[in-house]
Every structure is written in C-alpha cells, then in structure tokens.
Structure 1
Amino acid sequence: MSEQTLTTRNHDRNRAGMTYVYPVVSRRAGGVSVGVNLNPNNACNWRCIYCQVPDLARGGPPPIDLRLLEAELRRMLTDIVQGDFMARNVPAEMRRLNDVALSGNGEPTSAVEFAEVVSLIGRVLAEFGLLGKIKLVLITNGSLVHKPHVQEGLRRMQALGGEVWFKLDRATREGIRQINNAELEPERVYANLKTAAGLCPTWLQTCLFTLDGEPPAEAELAAYLDLLARAKAEGVPLHGVLLYGLARPSTQPEAGRLGRLPKAWLGAFADRIRQRCGLTVKTSP
C-alpha cells in the first residue's frame, strides 16, 4: 500500500491499489474511514458542482465483484487493525479507526448489490471484532431510497447499528438543479428522507459554499430551514445535521466559481438550524 501520509484534503480512491476499498482521513469522522467505492467507473446519477471525482460521468456502476470486495476489505482491515498501517500513513492525532463508509465515486445505492454489500461488510466487521465498535455509514444523495433494494439495504444497516448521511444541499427545485444537476421535486426529496430516517438512523449532510463570490441566497436558506422544521413537526427522527464547507478542489467545470465560506458564516447558520428546528448540528468548515 502507499506510504504517503493521508490528509483530509486527499481522498484519492486509487492510492491503496484496490478496486473497491480505500482509506481516508476524514475531518468529519475525526479519524480513519475505510471507504467502499461501489462506483469504480466514476459514474453517478447526479453531478454536484463541488464534486472532486475526476472524469465524472452520468450513469450507474458495473456489476460488483462481491468476492473481490470482501477480500479487499479483509486485507485493508488486517493492515489497519493488526499491522502498522496507522504508523505508516496517518498523522498521529488521527490514528483511530472510526468507520466503514459506503461512499466513493458515485451514488452507492445505485448498485443493485447494495443490500448484499451491507451484509458482507457486517460479516467482515464481525470477524475482526469491530461490529458495534466502529460505525457503518452510508453517504448517499438519497435519490433512490424509494427503491426496494435500497430499503432492504437500509434495514440491514439498521440491524448492524449503521447510520445514513443523506445529502441535502438545497431544498428548492431550482437549487437542486443548480448545485446537484438533478431534476427532483422537493416533495420527493422529503419523502425519501422520511423513508430513510424511518429505516435507519439518519443525519442530513449539507455542503455550503460561495458561488461567484456569493453565499447561498436567503430564499434557499429559508426553504432549507422550512423543510427541516417540517420534518421536526412531523416527527421524522433525524439525528441532526452535518454542515460542511469545501475541503477538496472540485473537478467540475464550475470549480473556478466556487469558494469557501467563512467559519463564522457556517457557525451562524448552524445556530439558525438549532434555534428553528431544535436539531444537533456539527460543522466542518
């Protein structure tokens, strides 16, 4: 494996030399996250303008080689848990294994094998004595939660003590189109969020940044707060909000138009969420 020190600004999926499994130092996790990339062809059903995936294409993943994925995950965990991976690759202050995350170079739930992958990860974690000690996380845009194979995967995640990080960058049709290049009605997003939260512990993950030097419009922020307030009023069991800014450079055509928001701006918006919706908010500027 690579001897280059991992950083929060480099999430290169190829550095471990594997097809599906890669390690990252995650600022939101506060340690090492073992990523499982079910989209090795760099294909996604969305195209977020802040996405760091190179050569991103529209589409879904090829068939998943479950045996290879299991072998790679076992090899990675052996190196981390029983070997000297941490000493070789991770800054001293980040040398803790936090989670296994279904994430990668596209939407992981677009893999028809998604539920099987969840079960596979559970088996391997149990082998290493890690089940219940580290998290199993799904990082998703939530757009396919209405599909039966995704819901089955979420049920299996819940049984393993997993959690969902559900992307919600904007809450208007126009905002979703602009930031995520997806054609979705906010009602569909809300319905999928409600379903996800009912099946597995769910956090919202929201990326905020400047576009052409301007922060998100107040109308967009108000629509976002309205959606969260509705979820709270209707008893949707959200665990909270992961509010974060840009950490790694975008590889999309809009990259030059994007900028980081001040820490104070994110903190102020986090306070608005807490005051309006009564939710836990964690910020990562």
Structure 2
Amino acid sequence: MTEDILSITDHSRDSAGLRYVYPVVSRRAGGVSIGINLNPNNACNWRCIYCQVPDLTRGTAPPVDLGLLEKELGGFLHELQHGDFMLRVPPEARRINDIALSGNGEPTSAQEFAEVIELIARHKPAALKLVLITNGSLMQRDNVQQGLRRMAQLNGEVWFKLDRASEAGMALVNDTRMTVDKLRQNLATAVACCPDTWLQTCWFALDGSAPERQDEDDYLDFLGACLRDGIRPQGVLLYGLARPSLQPEAPRLSALPAERLEAFAARIRALGLATRVSA
C-alpha cells in the first residue's frame, strides 16, 4: 500500500483503494477500525433518511468475491501490524479497534454472509472485536443466523438498528414497512444467536422538531416488553447526527442538543439497560 491512498481524515469506503476493505481512523474512538463493505453497489433494503451513503438504491448486496475479500483483509491486517500505516495515525490511536461489517448497505443481505464470517475467523486476531452493524431485517435467514452464532464464538458484537419502535416511526425514519411484531422477533433472534447484541438508535430533529414524547414512550414500551419476555440486549448506543445525510430529506434533519439525548438516555437507563450517548 502506498502512502497516498491512506488518510486519517478520509472515511470513504474506497480510501484504501480496495473493493471490500477500508480503514476508518478515529481520534475520538482512539484507534483504527477495519471496515468491510459487502455492498459496493450502494444498495440496501431500507432507506434511512439520515443515511450518509451516496446514490443509495433499493436492493441487495451483489455476489461477494470471497477470494478477493480474503486477499484484501489478510493484506490489510498485515499492513496494519507490520507495515507503516500506523506511522500515519496519531500516536494515541495506534491500535486496531475492531473489524466492522457495515459499508454501504445491509451486510446480511449478502448470500455469502456466513462464509464471510468464516473467512474473517481465519484472519482475525483472537482478541480483536468483530462488529456487525445491521438493520436486523433479515434475521430469519439461515445463513444470517449461522453467521451470528459463529460471531458469538469470535468476540462478536451486533449493533441492531432501532431508531423508532412504532410502525409509523419506522416508515418515516427507515422507509420500511416493518411491523413491531417482526421487529421484536428479529431482535429476539439476534440476541439468541449472538448475546452481545446492542441496540443502535439515531435520535435527531425533523423539520426543526425533536421526536415526540410518544416516540420515546413507544421505544420504552417496546424495550420493557422485550425485557419482561427475556429478550435482553446488552444496552443501547444512542447517537445524534454526526455527518450530513445524503438523502433527499437532508435539509429537514438537524442534530439535537446533547442534553436532549442525555434526558432520553436517562429514561432508557431506568429500565436497567446500559446506555452510551454520542452526540
């Protein structure tokens, strides 16, 4: 890898000049995350209005070239551990945080998802965290469940999207017709397959207005019902708008004050769930 294709300020998916693997160097997180993008076609089965993917389209991941992915991942891990990449990272961030399956669409839509997890297992240092960032909509698939169970053996963590917990709210924010019952079923499957599952929630203002109190109540009622039935995620990752949306609704979105996020987080914590806030 040459010096001019890696940058600590470029978080784009092609910043390493590779098809599937890209680095994210975060001073705030204090390390390097190795991203894996299984959706280089910018296709997703949801269309969240805050999404930062350019030219987002409805669809699924294309076939994964497993040989190329393995070559890229193995090569990039070697570069991080034995090359000079870390010399171009701030000293306080010279460590590998995790391998993260995220990218430009829903990673579990890849038909080869379980094979991808096995591929990562062949290269990942044992102590390194493996993170899946998912909208959780495809948990009924056998290959997804197989991959999640394998992740549980690999220091794996699932970040399961829960931006709203009503059908109207999910239609508005995620542009999906997911039902609350299906959402609950999918979360139960994720937790059963990979117990280290966190909810990831984006909370923001729309047309200048914060989410309604009813939105918070729906969210808390959903969590409370899950907890009573033994569906227990590890906690909630509550975050605001960090970078501009690239969707048509972008002008309508704005960040909430940190104190508004903290007030909602306090209500979630009252249920007994750990909640991390990132404004």
TM-score bracket for this pair, using the shorter chain length: over 0.9
Unpaired segments ≥5 residues, structure 1: none
- The equivalent of 1:142 in structure 2 is 136
Amino acid in structure 2 at the alignment position of 1:91: P
* Aligned partner (choices 199, 205, 208) of residue 210 of structure 1: 205
Q: Measure, in 2, the Cα distance between the counterparts of 1:27 and 1:142.
A: 29
Amino acid in structure 1 at the alignment position of 2:247: Q
- The equivalent of 2:152 in structure 1 is 158
CA contact (8 A) 2:30 2:93 kept: yes
Task: Give the SS at the match of 2:24.
Answer: strand
Count of equivalent residues: 276
Q: CA deviation at 1:265?
A: 1.0
Flag the 1:49–1:95 CA change in 2: closer, same or farther, 3 A. Answer: same
- The equivalent of 2:248 in structure 1 is 253
Flag the 1:203–1:26 CA change in 2: closer, same or farther, 3 A. Answer: farther
- The equivalent of 1:106 in structure 2 is 105
**Counterpart check, 1:264 vs 2:259:** yes
Q: Give the TM-score normalised by structure 1.
A: 0.93
Moved more, 231-240 or 220-229: 231-240
CA contact (8 A) 2:5 2:16 kept: no
CA contact (8 A) 1:5 1:91 kept: no
**Counterpart check, 1:174 vs 2:176:** no
CA contact (8 A) 1:46 1:58 kept: yes
Amino acid in structure 2 at the alignment position of 1:144: L
CA contact (8 A) 1:198 1:237 kept: no
Q: Which runs of 4+ in 1 moved over 3 A?
A: 1-5, 26-30
Q: Measure, in 2, the Cα distance between the counterparts of 1:11 and 1:52.
A: 11
**Counterpart check, 1:72 vs 2:72:** yes
Q: CA deviation at 1:79?
A: 1.3
Q: Measure, in 1, the Cα distance between the counterparts of 2:191 and 2:59.
A: 26
Q: Measure, in 1, the Cα distance between the counterparts of 2:5 and 2:37.
A: 21
* Percent identity of paired positions between Structure 1 and Structure 2: 59
- The equivalent of 1:220 in structure 2 is 215
Q: CA deviation at 1:83?
A: 1.5
Task: Give the SS at the match of 1:238.
Answer: coil
RMSD: 1.4
Amino acid in structure 2 at the alignment position of 1:57: T
Q: Measure, in 1, the Cα distance between the counterparts of 2:260 and 2:82.
A: 42
Q: Measure, in 2, the Cα distance between the counterparts of 1:270 and 1:204.
A: 12
Amino acid in structure 1 at the alignment position of 2:205: T
Q: CA deviation at 1:28?
A: 7.8
Q: Measure, in 1, the Cα distance between the counterparts of 2:91 and 2:232.
A: 36
Unpaired segments ≥5 residues, structure 2: none
Task: Give the SS at the match of 2:54.
Answer: coil
- The equivalent of 1:85 in structure 2 is 85
Q: CA deviation at 1:95?
A: 2.3
Q: Measure, in 2, the Cα distance between the counterparts of 1:28 and 1:146.
A: 35
Q: Measure, in 2, the Cα distance between the counterparts of 1:30 and 1:271.
A: 26
Amino acid in structure 2 at the alignment position of 1:61: A
Amino acid in structure 2 at the alignment position of 1:218: R
Q: Measure, in 2, the Cα distance between the counterparts of 1:248 and 1:110.
A: 25
Deviation by residue 1:104-154 (Cα, 9 ceiling, x = unmatched): 0000000010000000001011xxxx11x1101110000000111111111
- The equivalent of 1:183 in structure 2 is 177
Amino acid in structure 1 at the alignment position of 2:131: V
Q: Measure, in 1, the Cα distance between the counterparts of 2:90 and 2:225.
A: 42
Q: Measure, in 2, the Cα distance between the counterparts of 1:71 and 1:279.
A: 40
Q: CA deviation at 1:26?
A: 4.7
Task: Give the SS at the match of 2:234.
Answer: strand
Q: Measure, in 2, the Cα distance between the counterparts of 1:16 and 1:203.
A: 29
